[in-house]
Structure 1
Amino acid sequence: MAVRTSAARREVHDGRTVGEGRLVALDVAAEALSVSVKTLRRRIADGSVRGYRVGRLVRVDLDEVRDALVVEIPTV
């Protein structure tokens, strides 16, 4: 499903467009980052990842989750 805006065309896949990122279901984010849904729920609970409630559903911004979870390994 594609959503057209007056400024630009944005693609929406399994989620909604918010600002520059996308809100996606926890299972979609977990699969994209190769972590479990339980890990994402723990990170939301400890505050390191921000969750958004849409009705009764919990969504996360895929870009925010990627920034919070993906850490570069320093080289020697």
Structure 2
Amino acid sequence: MAVHIRPDTRGLRLTSLADAAEQLGISIKTLRRRISDGTVHGYRVGRLIRVDPDELRERLLTEIPSAK
């Protein structure tokens, strides 16, 4: 029997993949890949998949160090 552990989602502000992809300038397919490989968490709400935009910024955006 599979045991499903529900994450603590209190305080999360979830958004659709389309909105999140548009905000970051990436494709929905890229977001789905990142959810699949475990880089970010996806949350199923009924049939829809939602993501936390704050987590996306934290995990996907990285600063490029300057050469100075």
TM-score (ref. length: structure 1): 0.72
User: Which is strand-richer, 1 or 2?
Assistant: 1
Normalising to structure 2: TM-score of the pair?
Answer: 0.80
Cα distance in 2 for partners of 1:27, 1:47 equals 19
C-alpha root-mean-square deviation of aligned residues, in Å? 1.5
Q: Gapped runs of 5+ residues in structure 2? A: 1-9
**1:50-70 deviations in whole A, cap 9, x for unaligned?**
000001100000000111110
Q: Aligned residue for 2:56?
A: 65
For residue 23 of structure 2, what is the amino acid of its counterpart? A
- Report the CA distance between 1:75 and its aligned residue: 1.5
Which protein has greater RCO, CA pairs closer than 8 Å, 6+ apart? Answer: 2
In the TM superposition, residue 39 of structure 1 has moved relative to its aligned partner by 0.2
User: Structure 1 segments of 4 or more deviating over 6 A?
Assistant: none
Q: Percent identity?
A: 62
Query: Which consecutive residues of structure 1, in runs of 5 or more, have no partner in the other structure?
Result: 1-17
Aligned residues: 59
